Structure 1
């Protein structure tokens, strides 16, 4: 198939492109800076300059594509200006889906996030779970962006939506990868929100799910939750400690103290226009405290997925950076 990919240079997107090429699909990638994506060009990917926040010309670059795999989004738990989430995750989706309709794309796989469900009253989460209150601006705009995609589906666009859990794997530049590096390097002074937790998934498994969702016939309108293995934050920190050989932080803050400290760090960050200390902010605290849990029976049954153990995903990530310890 002729596949148009947004977000192809990202943590998940790079793996998606590799899987598409391995399956002999023809890939065109929308990239903001083609000169910085020469690795994709070397693989045989056709690069087109563009930005999901700038709709001009999107339909023309997409024309002739069979599938659109839409991964581009703004993922972070803290931004000095939260408007960026709205611009990319909501308006960006509108621009891309409108272009897909105009270009006559046959099928769209939109990559959302499990946080789009918010604090759903249906636990563990399912594909048909109700949406609850969202802890962060990122989560709110992921849900709002999903609604934009479904609006276009009602106009005739054939859409499949994929909801990954907490993604792990080597080379993660985002919040989860940063948290792991801080733990291993002894830069987290205390354990926090140990009772909260997440359903984790290896980045390669997410990429496989996206490609299989595209290749499966007759699944327009379907949703797939991607991930299976749940760990509390306390269990996660213990596993990182075991695999890295670095002791867990000795201190364990009660939730009220962790929330208070995170609020102070976030306020200072906004006043100084600098990243929050240790990545802590009100948004991070709410995310860690809320967490999410779900199963993956539908994706396993319909897409034939099997999952890499969290232990192996963490081991592969930890192996990519050097750990220094004194003594």
Structure 2
């Protein structure tokens, strides 16, 4: 098949593209500046020659680029907590979805995958999350853009368009074109602090996400598109359990103080107020601290049963992620720990 894919310069898009290429599919990739993506794919022996240089919100350019394609995967998204870019972030994500997924529906393409986020299903107080959980009511521009885009995609599903939606949890893994948010969090846990706070967290391996996307693009559309919604998440770890896992993987002790969830939520609200005066980066805000301290277990049973996805054990994903972070220079060998160092040394002697 020939697949039109957006977001190839991002973590999920790059790995999904490699998964599709390895399976023998042709790709046409949309990018505003493809140079970085070309270099990434060349490094991984997966060269791509079919590029379309355009903004994902340019409906005419996107529709023309999809001509002759059998499937579409929309993974591109703008991520920013800068209040000065709030409207731009919202417009990019909602407008990009409308242009890409809308064009695919208009052209009658029968295999369409939209990459959402598990966070759109989160609301404080939930005991558990599955694909039937109502969408949440977030407040920051990025989270609202993903929720509102999801609303529009679901409306297209209800009209009978063959769209599958995936909901990945926090995505980690090796070979990140840029240091994405969840991989950065792993470096922070190993170099600064892992807070043992309330509830827990779920990571998913980017390679498992990519495999799920390939399966969705290869299979025949389901009879009822509204059932084609899939949570992609690994094991639920309470924060103290996550510390124990990372200490086993690295072979070193981590600084992991107990921090009340209420205190982290106060910090998040304070960060939002501070950004109104002096805009700055970072992932701490009200939304993120609510998620960190109030996250329930999200079930990926539908992806396991319908797609045949066997998610990697968490320790395998953490090991591969931390090893790559060290090899790529995002983490010192000392902070990666003796257990990771020993596997790096073995790889160097092979």
TM-score of the two chains, using structure 2 as the length reference? 0.82
Alignment check: 8 A CA contact 1:168 1:313 kept:
yes
Matching residue of 1:304: 308
Matching residue of 1:215: 218
- Of 229, 235, 243 in structure 2, the residue corresponding to residue 229 of structure 1 is 235
Could you tell me which runs of 5 or more consecutive residues in structure 1 were left unpaired when the two chains were aligned. Answer: none
Separation (CA, whole Å) in 1 of partners of 2:180 and 2:286 = 17
Alignment check: 8 A CA contact 1:199 1:292 kept:
no
Alignment check: 8 A CA contact 1:70 1:110 kept:
yes
CA spacing shift, 1:302–1:253, aligned 2, 3 Å: closer
Matching residue of 1:28: 28
- Of 127, 134, 140 in structure 1, the residue corresponding to residue 138 of structure 2 is 134
CA spacing shift, 1:199–1:183, aligned 2, 3 Å: closer
Matching residue of 1:323: 332
| Count of equivalent residues | 320
Shift of 1:324: 5.8
Alignment check: 8 A CA contact 1:199 1:231 kept:
yes
Alignment check: 8 A CA contact 1:184 1:323 kept:
no
Shift of 1:246: 4.2
In the TM superposition, what are the counterparts of 1:1-327 in structure 2 within 5 Å? Answer: 1-39=1-39, 40=41, 43-75=47-79, 78-80=81-83, 81-119=85-123, 123-134=127-138, 136-172=140-176, 173-185=179-191, 187-188=192-193, 191=195, 194-219=197-222, 221=225, 222-249=228-255, 251-276=257-282, 279-320=283-324, 321=326, 322-323=331-332
SS of 2:8 mapped into structure 1: coil
Shift of 1:113: 1.4
SS of 1:141 mapped into structure 2: helix
Separation (CA, whole Å) in 1 of partners of 2:135 and 2:124 = 5
SS of 1:152 mapped into structure 2: helix
Shift of 1:147: 1.6
Shift of 1:310: 1.1
* Worse-matched range after superposition: 289-298 or 131-140: 131-140
TM-score of the two chains, using structure 1 as the length reference? 0.88
Shift of 1:121: 7.1
The alignment's C-alpha RMSD in Å is 2.5
Separation (CA, whole Å) in 1 of partners of 2:69 and 2:169 = 28
CA deviations 1:79-127 (Å, max 9, x no partner) are 3332233212212111112222333322211111111112287642222
Alignment check: 8 A CA contact 1:3 1:69 kept:
yes
Alignment check: 8 A CA contact 2:195 2:258 kept:
yes
CA deviations 1:236-273 (Å, max 9, x no partner) are 23322332344332532222222223333343344222
SS of 2:92 mapped into structure 1: helix
CA spacing shift, 1:272–1:167, aligned 2, 3 Å: same
Alignment check: 8 A CA contact 1:120 1:133 kept:
no
Separation (CA, whole Å) in 1 of partners of 2:114 and 2:159 = 16
